[in-house]
Structure 1
């Protein structure tokens, strides 16, 4: 009984937080405009704060200041999105944190905070440039990848994917995430004008979502913490819930730079 309880002990919070992320996120994706931009700004600020706090626990006030800087920088860029000259502002939280004397985990903070800023900006820009349907697909792929990986990993078990970094992640759960993501792509093929390439792109998107999760796990392991924060009681922090979305968003931004992303519709 105790083994079963330990094995599935985090099921309820994962389902609740996953459902909450999906419903809340998709609602604001649907609304778009200032609503989605506000969500991205607040989320980026909180995640930069969490990152700064767990990589340098001796300076909590500085972590709050870096989170506030992230909010201001991202808000300015989003309000003046037509001006590419403001994009370097996205580097500010990373640069300020890196240049702080004697900051521990300097590289990890710099790279991941930049990832947070670029992904948050990119999600809003992607929604404005390519439409709501693409963002709905992206969010659903990330959520389904996480859920399928969780159940397959617990039920099937097997060899670990990267035990030194993420000891709970298995190859069975990783592969299940790819299959589930391809299934989401198949559903969107049936309800939209997207092409057949959406199947393998969905699976690849799932892989980058998993890399985002692994990257955050590596940072937490190095920092010696279990969760990025206690922001969501019993569930951990915002980074713990959006790490996969960050990895997926970075991947789609790269894809959009090298291929023609078509506008799709229902």
Structure 2
């Protein structure tokens, strides 16, 4: 592979990433309803992509499911924990009952999408800007370091049967980058050095989210979840790692009695 071919997707990836970063930064700073609306829109968009991958002919139903998930994320934040979980199950269950195939996969992934988008909004409200910034920077650093290390060094594949482009060099570079983010936050916040290890675990969880989405696409026989984002594919392609990382942090917050990040 020539050097130019190796980096040919870099320009559209960078431009799209800058646009997403600007929008995301504004919404994070605003918090509250604006950030919740963004989370709901992303959740609805990913459910739309997932249902289109499973049943491309069900265009109207895919839009209906997207709207239901967006509404579920919005209203779940007004309910206590178990009630919120139940509401997020509704669009996942409706899709699983109506779609012609891959019903279990749709239910699992759409529920994960709803939970993650709900949790992101809750993290912003309860943990503030620093918390959500740390989480997203861990995911971004993992992705950027993995991309450049994988392109530069190559080497053995991490899981070739599911994600043939991912290498061990890129995977390990992602862990290191996440650890650096954790170290910086531990130095400039009240979080202790334990945040370094937590950040690396969150990085791994994000990578597993990416792997899980790759497995779905391979099973459905598609390259990208959609073409909404130039250079990145669809929302599911771009936010799969955020899903994995957010669900892991949500699990930590439920299992541990105190805020494990120490913010």
Pick the TM interval, shorter chain.
over 0.9
**Whole-angstrom distance in 1 between the partners of 2:22 and 2:137:** 10
1:12-51 equivalent positions in 2, closer than 5 A: 12-51=11-50
- Tell me the CA shift for residue 10 of structure 1: 1.6
Distance 1:240 1:97, change over 3 A: same
Partner of residue 108, structure 1 = 105
Cα deviations by residue, 1:137-177 (Å, 9 ceiling, x for unpaired): 00011011000001111111111000010000001100000
1:107-186 equivalent positions in 2, closer than 5 A: 107-186=104-183
- Tell me the CA shift for residue 20 of structure 1: 3.1
Conserved 8 A contact 2:146-2:173:
yes
Distance 1:45 1:187, change over 3 A: same
Partner of residue 90, structure 1 = 88
Partner of residue 211, structure 2 = 214
**Whole-angstrom distance in 2 between the partners of 1:21 and 1:203:** 24
Cα deviations by residue, 1:9-37 (Å, 9 ceiling, x for unpaired): 22222223333333322321221100110
Partner of residue 251, structure 2 = 254
Equivalent residue of 1:131, what SS? helix
**Whole-angstrom distance in 1 between the partners of 2:183 and 2:84:** 38
Gaps of 5+ in 2: none
State TM-score, norm by structure 2. Answer: 0.94
Conserved 8 A contact 1:181-1:202:
yes
**Whole-angstrom distance in 1 between the partners of 2:171 and 2:247:** 19
Partner of residue 64, structure 1 = 63
Alignment length, in residue pairs? 262
- Tell me the CA shift for residue 263 of structure 1: 7.7
Among 189, 200, 203, the alignment partner of 2:200 is 203
**Whole-angstrom distance in 1 between the partners of 2:237 and 2:24:** 15
State TM-score, norm by structure 1. Answer: 0.93
1:4-19 equivalent positions in 2, closer than 5 A: 4-19=3-18
Conserved 8 A contact 1:179-1:203:
yes
**Whole-angstrom distance in 1 between the partners of 2:175 and 2:216:** 24
Which aligned runs of 4 or more in structure 1 are off by greater than 4 angstroms? Answer: 262-265
Conserved 8 A contact 2:51-2:106:
yes
Gaps of 5+ in 1: none
Distance 1:82 1:107, change over 3 A: closer
Question: Greater shift after overlay, 61-70 or 255-264?
Answer: 255-264
Partner of residue 235, structure 2 = 238
Question: Greater shift after overlay, 16-25 or 155-164?
Answer: 16-25
Distance 1:116 1:10, change over 3 A: same
Equivalent residue of 1:161, what SS? strand
**Whole-angstrom distance in 2 between the partners of 1:202 and 1:72:** 31
**Whole-angstrom distance in 2 between the partners of 1:106 and 1:163:** 26
- Tell me the CA shift for residue 45 of structure 1: 0.6
Equivalent residue of 2:108, what SS? helix
- Tell me the CA shift for residue 83 of structure 1: 6.9
- Tell me the CA shift for residue 262 of structure 1: 5.9
